[in-house]
Amino acid sequence: MIAAIPGAVVQRQQLRTELKKARTKSRLTQLQVAERMDWSPSKLIRIEAGQVGISTNDLRALLREYGITDAEQTEYFLGLARASRKMPYREYRGLLAKPYMDLLSYESSASIVRTFEPLLIPGLLQTEEYSRALSRAFTPDMSGDRLERLIEIRQQRQELLDTEGRPEFFFVVDEAALHRWIGGPGVMRGQLNHLREMAARPGITVQVVPFRIGAHAGLQGPFILLEFDGEMDHILYQEKYAGESVFSDAPEATAEYLERFWDLERLAPPDDLPSTIDRALMGRGERVDGTPLEEVSVTT
C-alpha cells in the first residue's frame, strides 16, 4: 500500500482558518493588521483567502501582532505554513489549472469524496484509453507529449484509490455517461467493465441515475464534494467542462450540494449497476463479453 500524504492545499486552508480566527480574537481589522505589518491590505486578504503562502518570518511577526507568543502554539502555526508549501504535482505547473491542482491535494486528505457526473465517467474511474479519447476530443490540437503528460497525471491521481487510509468514495453518474460511446466499442467496453470492477471494491460505491427518472437537479452540472475530519468539514468543487472550475467552503453552498447528492443517491437504485452496464453493452449490439449479438447462434 502507498501511504497517503496530507495535502498541502488542506494545510494552507487550515492555516488561513486559524489566522482569521486569531485576528478576530485580537479584535483587529484587516486594514489595521496590514498597517502594523507595513503590508498592502491585499497581501493579508490573499493570505486569509488561502491564495498565497506566508513566509515563516512574516508569520512569526503576524502572530506577535495577534498576541500569540506561546512556543507550542507558534510552532503549530509554523508547521501548517511549512506543510502548505509542499505542493503536490509541482512538476505539472503550467500544464494544470490551479483549481485542478488544488483538487488533487484536497482529495488525498479528505475522509469522504462524493462525485456526481451527468455526462462522463468520473476521472478517478476512467481507464487510460477512455481518458486519452476524451482528452483528444476536448483538445484536438494538443501535442502528443502534452497529451501523454495529462494521461500520466490522471493515472497518478488514481493511485489514491490504492493508498492506505484512503477516503471513502461515493460516485453517482447519470445513465447517459454509460451510453456515450467515447473512444469506440473496444474502449467503452473496457471502460464499462472497469467501472464494474471498481464498484466491487471495498470503500467504493457507484450508483447510476436511470433514464426513466427524467429531469433531475444533477443535470445542472458535475460536482465533487469533499468531506474532512476536523474543523474544515466540507469543500465543494464545481467542475466546468469549459472555463475555470471553482471551489467553495461556504456552509450554505456545501450544505445545498450535500443534500443534492443525497437526493441523487435516492434516485439511483443501489444494486442496479451490473444490469445497467449490461444494458449499455446490449444497446450497442454486444454481449457483456464483447461478442456481437448477430454472431451468436441460438438453438431452439
Structural domain that includes position 27: 2-84
Instruction: Name the domain boundary from 37, 63, 84.
Output: 84
pLDDT score of 227: 93
* 264, 209 contact by CB (below 8 A): yes
CB proximity list for 9: less than 8 A, separation 6 or greater: 50, 84, 87, 101, 102, 105, 106
Cα–Cα dist 300/290, whole Å: 23
Instruction: Name the domain boundary from 35, 52, 84.
Output: 84
Same domain, 136 and 279: yes
CB proximity list for 258: less than 8 A, separation 6 or greater: 114, 225, 234
pLDDT score of 3: 33
Same domain, 77 and 184: no
Is residue 42 situated within a structural domain? yes
Same domain, 139 and 288: yes
Cα–Cα dist 19/25, whole Å: 10
Enumerate helices (H) and strands (E) in the chain, giving the number of each. Answer: 12, 8
Is residue 242 situated within a structural domain? yes
Cα–Cα dist 4/83, whole Å: 14
End-to-end CA distance of the chain: 52
Tell me, what CATH number does 43's domain have?
A: 1.10.260.40
Instruction: Name the domain boundary from 69, 84, 99.
Output: 84
Same domain, 56 and 179: no
Same domain, 215 and 235: yes
Same domain, 70 and 155: no
* Alpha-carbon dihedral sign for residues 23, 28, 31, 37: negative
Same domain, 75 and 211: no
Torsion, Cα of 60, 63, 67, 73 (10° steps): -90
Q: Which residues is 117 bridged to in the sheet? A: 173
Same domain, 207 and 231: yes
pLDDT score of 102: 79
Which residues of the chain, if any, have pLDDT below 70? 1-10, 50-52, 83-94, 230-232, 241-243, 284-300
Task: Please tell me what DSSP assigns to residue 292.
Answer: B
Is residue 159 situated within a structural domain? yes
Which of 173, 64, 67 is closest to 118 using CA atoms? 173
Residue with the three cell numbers 477516503: 167
Give the count of domains, the chain.
Answer: 2
pLDDT score of 2: 29
CB proximity list for 81: less than 8 A, separation 6 or greater: 15, 53, 54, 55, 56, 59
CB proximity list for 275: less than 8 A, separation 6 or greater: none
* Cell digits of residue 135: 482528452
* 129, 190 contact by CB (below 8 A): yes
pLDDT score of 138: 81
Which of 164, 168, 192 is closest to 178 using CA atoms? 192
Does this model's pTM top 0.75? no
Task: Please tell me what DSSP assigns to residue 55.
Answer: -
pLDDT score of 231: 59
Is residue 258 situated within a structural domain? yes
pLDDT score of 156: 78
